[in-house]
């Protein structure tokens, strides 16, 4: 890694180290998105809407309204619903899985490869490294959801007629407005995954074994969703990071309801703050041996 060269601590160096944060971010992002693993995950994400659309296209049976995952019965009438259906299908397991892999790998991956201490020799510092790693994971959340949305829109437009979209409220909106809503949904889902990303980053600071951190992150996301369906724990539900994951349905109502967007953002912010603080304390006090 370019920024891991050992540099003398002169005042000029410290100054450029401020810009070095951006260099570090740039190199982190390019490493992340040059990885085959990242590409494989993004391709798998893009395949979800494609599989859905192809299956619906090839199938001769027509779905009764309300059958199958939400919006699936609308897909044959309007290809723009492919993206929404794929999002509903991907949120509970597949997206958390990819986030778990990326976020769990952040620190533990470097430690496992033995590159962590070289990263820290540069004047970047541990806090900056944490921030850069988190920014990389958050960017992956955005890219993954955008991949899903875009591939859904393309495959939907390729296989099915495209027209004005019927919202949950029964009102109809034009194609450009529906694309705008798709982007809003992607933004919502990205925000939804920020809390889990920070949890993954925290787990990643605990261990030198990246697989352990990845598995722990995925397990936590599954546990949160199990807790979310136990009615005896309903006092806890609004504070589970997974509680608002499917709340993007509110973006498909007329008039647009941004209430759950805000609530989701607050909950995710709480998780980012708590696990960010834990990750900071753990990482700056940790002995880096590898």
Partner 1 sequence: MKLVSRNSLRWLPAFVVPAVVVAAVIAVPLQAGATVDLPDKTPEQVLLLVNDSTVSAFSGTVEQSAELGLPSLDLSAGMSESMTGALPEGNDSVIPLGVTTALELLSGSHEFRVYVGGESQSRVQIKDRMAERDVVHNGGDIWLYDSNTNAATHLSLDLEATAQAKSAQLQSQLPTDLATPAQLAERFLGELDPSTTVSVGTDARVAGRSVYELVLTPKTTETLVASVSIAVDSETGLPLQVTVLAQGQSSPAFQVGFTAIDFAAPNADLFAFTPPATATVTEQAMPAPTEGATGDQPGDHSSAAGQVPVMTGTGWSTIVEVPAAAVPAELSANPLLDQLTTAVDGGRAVTTSLVTVFLSNDGRVFAGAVPLAALQAAAE
Residues of this chain that interact with partner 1 (CB under 8 A) are: 65-66, 70, 73-74, 77-78, 88, 164, 166, 168-172, 239, 246, 249-250, 253-255, 257, 259, 270, 273-274, 276-278, 280-282, 284-285
Tokens of 157: 């437009």
Q: Please identify, using beta-carbon distances, which residue of 71 and 140 lies nearer to partner 1.
A: 71
Identify which of residues 72 and 138 has a Cβ nearer to partner 1 in the complex: 72
How many Å is the Cα radius of gyration of the chain? 21
Minimum distance from residue 175 beta carbon to partner 1 (Å) = 14
**Residue 119 near residue 4, CB atoms below 8 Å:** yes
Are 96 and 218 spatial neighbours (Cβ–Cβ below 8 Å)? yes
Closest distance between partner 1 and the C-beta of residue 22, in Å?
25
* Per-residue burial over 128-157, b = 16 or more CB atoms within 10 Å of its CB, e = otherwise: bbbbbbbbbbbbbbbbbbbbbbbbbbbbbb
Minimum Å gap between C-beta 43 and partner 1 is 27
Nearer to partner 1, 180 or 284 (CB): 284
The count of other CB atoms within 10 Å of the CB of residue 90 is 23
If the CB atoms of residues 27 and 263 are measured against partner 1, the closer one turns out to be 263
Q: Which one, 41 or 75, has the nearer CB to partner 1? A: 75
Kindly provide the b/e burial profile for residues 160-174, where b requires at least 16 CB atoms within 10 angstroms of the residue's own CB: beeeebbbeeeeebe
Supply the minimum distance, in Å, between the C-beta of residue 91 and partner 1. 11
User: Closest distance between partner 1 and the C-beta of residue 54, in Å?
Assistant: 22
Structure tokens given for 258: 């941004």
């Amino acid at each position: 890694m370019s920024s891991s060269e050992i540099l003398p601590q002169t005042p000029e160096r410290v100054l450029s180290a401020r810009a070095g944060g951006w260099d570090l971010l740039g190199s982190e992002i390019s490493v992340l998105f040059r990885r085959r693993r990242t590409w494989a995950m993004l391709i798998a994400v893009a395949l979800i809407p494609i599989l859905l659309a192809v299956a619906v296209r090839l199938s001769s049976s027509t779905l009764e309204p309300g059958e199958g995952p939400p919006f699936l019965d609308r897909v044959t009438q309007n290809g723009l619903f492919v993206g929404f259906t794929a999002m509903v299908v991907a949120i509970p397991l597949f997206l958390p899985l990819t986030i778990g892999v990326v976020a769990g790998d952040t620190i533990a991956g470097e430690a496992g490869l033995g590159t962590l201490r070289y990263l820290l020799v540069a004047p970047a510092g541990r806090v900056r490294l944490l921030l850069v790693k988190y920014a990389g994971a958050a960017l992956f959340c955005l890219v993954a959801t955008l991949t899903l949305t875009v591939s859904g829109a393309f495959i939907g437009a390729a296989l099915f007629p495209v027209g004005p979209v019927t919202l949950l409220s029964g009102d109809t909106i034009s194609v450009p407005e529906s694309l705008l809503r798709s982007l809003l949904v992607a933004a919502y889902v990205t925000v939804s995954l920020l809390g889990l990303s920070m949890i993954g980053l925290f787990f990643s600071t605990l261990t030198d074994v990246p697989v352990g951190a990845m598995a722990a992150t995925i397990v936590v996301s599954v546990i949160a969703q199990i807790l979310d369906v136990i009615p005896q724990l309903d006092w806890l539900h609004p504070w589970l990071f997974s509680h608002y994951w499917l709340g993007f349905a509110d973006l498909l109502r007329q008039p647009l309801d941004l209430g759950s967007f805000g609530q989701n953002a607050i909950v995710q912010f709480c998780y980012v703050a708590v696990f960010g603080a834990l990750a900071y304390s753990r990482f700056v006090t940790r002995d880096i041996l590898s």
